[in-house]
Structures are given as C-alpha cells and as structure tokens.
Amino acid sequence: MKPPALYRVAAGLLLLFAIAHTFGFWQSDPGWGVGAVLGSMQSSQFTIQGFTRTYWDFFLGAGFTVGLLYLFASVLAWQLGGLQAATLVSIRVTTWSFAACFVAITALSWRYLFWIPIVMSGVIAVCLAAAAWSAGRVADSGGHEKGSHSAD
C-alpha cells in the first residue's frame, strides 16, 4: 500500500479507537466483582494542590485525556495521508516517532490491558511504520510511483 492509504487506514482506526475508548473505559461489568473497588475510588476524597479529588476523578481524567489524544492522533494521521512522499521524508523524525509511539502503546497494552487495545494499537503501529517506510521508498524513486499526490 502507498503512504496515503496507510495513513488514512490508521486515521480511521484511531478514530474508532478514540470513540470506543472514550465511551468504554469507565464502564464495568458487575461480573468482574469490582463494585467495592469502584465505590472506594469514587468516595475516598483527598485534597491535592488545592483541589478536592477522588481516585475516580483521576481515572476519568486520565481516560478522557487518552481518548482526546487518540482523536488528535487520528487527525494527524489523516493530515499525513495528504502529504507527498517527499514532504513525509522531510519530517521523517515525526513519522517514525508516530509509529514508534504506537509500538510502545502496543507493548503497554500487551503488558497491562487486553486483546482489543493490543490488536488495535498493533495494527495502527504496523500501518504507521509501513507508511513511514513506504514514503522513504517512494521519495527515493523520485516520487514517480503511481498514486503519488499533493497535500489536501
């Protein structure tokens, strides 16, 4: 696949990931038996830097932040998909860092989460790495690969 298609696939997956994470991370199944833990997280208040918070507030804040970052990553991937290969090569630190970030997210998901985020972040990492690598190949060939186009 060419870089634009790979970035656009990653953008779509990231958008799906952002939506699913934002609406799913704070829900629990009563079968998990975590009601007492959640109740404790929601009711134990403390003061930190002048704010009264609970661990539930921290959990929600972190979860919504992650959802917004996935949404931003989706926008970034979409924008990268509209750039010419030569432009992508000129920002290769950004494109490869983006891919490396999702490799790290995949590793963290493997260690701490479950199959859906492992697979989603893994597929996104593969798309981003393939796009960064493919952009370099297209640019090395003079950008004459069929389907090369300008920015949106």
Give the whole-angstrom CA distance, residue 91 versus residue 135: 11
The reported pTM is 0.88
pLDDT for residue 152: 43
Q: Decide: 123 and 13 in contact? Cβ < 8 Å.
A: yes
Q: What is the pLDDT of residues 67-81, one digit of tens each?
A: 999 999 999 999 999
Residue type for position 110: W
Q: What is the pLDDT of residues 97-118, one digit of tens each?
A: 999 999 999 999 999 999 999 9
Q: What is the pLDDT of residues 13-33, one digit of tens each?
A: 999 999 999 999 999 999 999
Q: Which of 152, 147, 151, 150 is nearest to 2 (CA)?
A: 147
Q: Decide: 114 and 74 in contact? Cβ < 8 Å.
A: no
Sketch the domain layout of the chain as residue ranges: 3-22+69-140
Give the whole-angstrom CA distance, residue 86 versus residue 149: 10
